[in-house]
């Protein structure tokens, strides 16, 4: 489902497709409908709730495990993880969203899966909450928000944070071995401060000065600032751009297509570094002009690929 849908998107369109799903909340006598989304590229399939095997001692939000064609998958009750009291409803509409990121498969129980929406990244705003809301975000992490019909708001959930809480995903990029060093700069584009810090540390170990950007739009501003400083020598100074794919305002693919059309920047290599591990993103990355596509975070693969790309670039610069 996810992969075939993802192929419909043009790489340069700055669009994403979301699975729109609902979680119902019981508050007194009233039932509220929470509208949520997850990137189609991260969804392997959506199924009815299977027969689950309980895991003794597991957190209360893990309902159990099941075998999906030879792969054992943990299933998370998403409402329970978010601390939401759901109404007693017929579970016939409930579904399990099988999500895959960083080559990990996890199932999430939702109240109902509605539809697939195509949304421009420009219409997705970073999630900002007042300090009074911070405690609620410990179990309800949101990466972006977008308005839909009837002035409703759809929240894009950070499924990876849930997997980190489960202890299945440990985002680190430890560069233990001695690596080749380079004299120049690198740009890291990622809306996650944690991810930027991980990549920045690895690049600095290679001797590079690191410029950080939170999304494609921010990166374009900083590229223009670099051009004002270095002019036609920018390709000699900026050795590589490491970019996430999923980002509000401007995603990584659209950013790459944009700069590859700009003669000032088109020779600067781009390495995509994303948690999306579907079969089509690698191809879409190359169509956008990327040198390679990496799945977060494999230290050896990251280091060897950055070294290869930067050496090739410095030979041509």
Mean pLDDT of 249-258: 91
- Per residue, the 3-state secondary structure of the chain, as one string, reads CHHHHHCCCCHHHCEEEEEEEEEEEEECCEEEEEEEEEEHHHEEEEEECCCCECCCCCCCCEEEEEEECCEEEEEEEHHHHCCCCCCCCCHHHCEEEEEEECCEEEEEEECEEEEEEEEEHHHCEECCCCHHHHHHHHCCCEEEEEECHHHCEEEEECHHHHHHHHCCCCCCCCCCCCCCCCCCEEEEECCCHHHHHHHHHHHHHCCCEEEEECCHHHHHHHHHHHHHHHHHHHHHHEEEEEECCCCCCCCHHHHHHHHHCCCCCCCCCEEEEECCCCCCHHHHHHHCCCCEEEECCCHHHHHHHHHHHHHHHHHHC
pLDDT greater than 70 at residue 213:
yes
What separation in angstroms does the CA of 297 have from each of 29, 148, 274, 291?
46, 33, 8, 17
Q: What is the pTM of this model?
A: 0.76
Whether pLDDT at 40 is above 60? yes
Instruction: Taking residues 92-107, report their average pLDDT.
Output: 88
Instruction: Give phi and psi for 219, each to the nearest 5.
Output: -65, -40
Give the chain's mean pLDDT.
85
Give residue-wise pLDDT tens across range 116-147.
Answer: 999 888 888 877 654 444 434 444 478 788 99
Residues of the chain with CATH 2.40.50.180: 2-166
pLDDT for residue 90: 60
Give the residue with greater pLDDT, 161 vs 34: 34
pLDDT at 153 over 80: yes
List the single range of 34-48, 164-178, 278-292 with lowest mean pLDDT: 164-178
- In the beta sheet, which residues pair with residue 241? 187, 270
Residue recorded with tokens 């948690």: 275
> How confident is the model over 44-64, as a mean pLDDT?
92
Does residue 4 surpass a pLDDT of 50?
Answer: no
pLDDT confidence band for 5 (50 / 70 / 90): very low
Start-end of CATH 3.40.50.2300 domains in the chain: 185-316
Query: pLDDT at position 195, please?
Result: 84
pLDDT at 242: 98
Give 267-309 pLDDT, tens digit per residue. Answer: 999 999 998 887 778 888 888 899 999 988 888 889 999 999 9
- We find that the CATH architecture of domain 2-166 is Beta Barrel (2.40)
What pLDDT band is residue 13 in, cutting at 50, 70 and 90?
A: low
Name the CATH topology of 185-316: Rossmann fold (3.40.50)
CB 182 within 8 A of CB 206: yes
pLDDT at 113 over 80: yes
Q: What is the pLDDT of residue 103?
A: 80
Average pLDDT of the residues in 159-169: 73
Q: How confident is the model at residue 89 (pLDDT cuts 50, 70, 90)?
A: low
Percent of the chain with pLDDT over 70: 89
Q: What is the mean pLDDT of residues 310-317?
A: 86
């Amino acid at each position: 489902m996810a992969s075939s849908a993802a192929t419909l998107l043009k790489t340069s369109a700055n669009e994403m497709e979301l699975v729109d799903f609902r979680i119902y909340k019981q508050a007194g006598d009233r039932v509220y409908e929470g509208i949520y989304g997850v990137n189609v590229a991260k969804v392997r399939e959506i199924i009815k709730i299977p027969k689950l095997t309980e895991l003794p001692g597991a957190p209360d939000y893990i309902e159990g495990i099941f075998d999906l064609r030879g792969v054992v998958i943990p299933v998370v009750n998403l409402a329970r993880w978010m601390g939401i009291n759901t109404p007693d409803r017929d579970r016939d509409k409930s579904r399990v969203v099988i999500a895959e990121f960083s080559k990990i498969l996890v199932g999430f129980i939702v109240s109902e899966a509605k539809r697939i929406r195509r949304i421009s990244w420009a219409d997705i705003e970073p999630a900002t909450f007042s300090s009074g809301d911070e405690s609620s975000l410990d179990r309800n992490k949101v990466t972006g928000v977008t308005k839909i019909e009837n002035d409703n708001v759809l929240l894009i959930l950070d499924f990876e944070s849930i997997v980190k809480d489960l202890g299945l995903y440990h985002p680190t990029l430890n560069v233990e071995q001695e690596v080749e060093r380079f004299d120049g700069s690198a740009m890291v584009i990622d809306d996650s401060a944690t991810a930027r810090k991980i990549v920045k540390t690895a690049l600095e170990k290679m001797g590079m000065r690191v410029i950080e950007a939170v999304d494609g739009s921010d990166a374009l501003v900083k590229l223009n600032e670099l051009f004002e400083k270095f002019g036609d020598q920018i390709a000699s100074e900026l050795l590589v751009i490491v970019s996430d794919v999923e980002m509000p305002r401007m995603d990584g693919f659209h950013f790459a297509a944009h700069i590859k059309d700009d003669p000032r920047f088109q020779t600067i290599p781009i390495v995509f570094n994303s948690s999306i591990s579907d079969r089509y993103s690698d191809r879409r990355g190359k169509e956008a002009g990327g040198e390679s596509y990496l799945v977060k975070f494999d230290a050896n693969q990251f280091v060897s690929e950055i070294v290869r790309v930067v050496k090739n670039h410095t030979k041509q610069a």
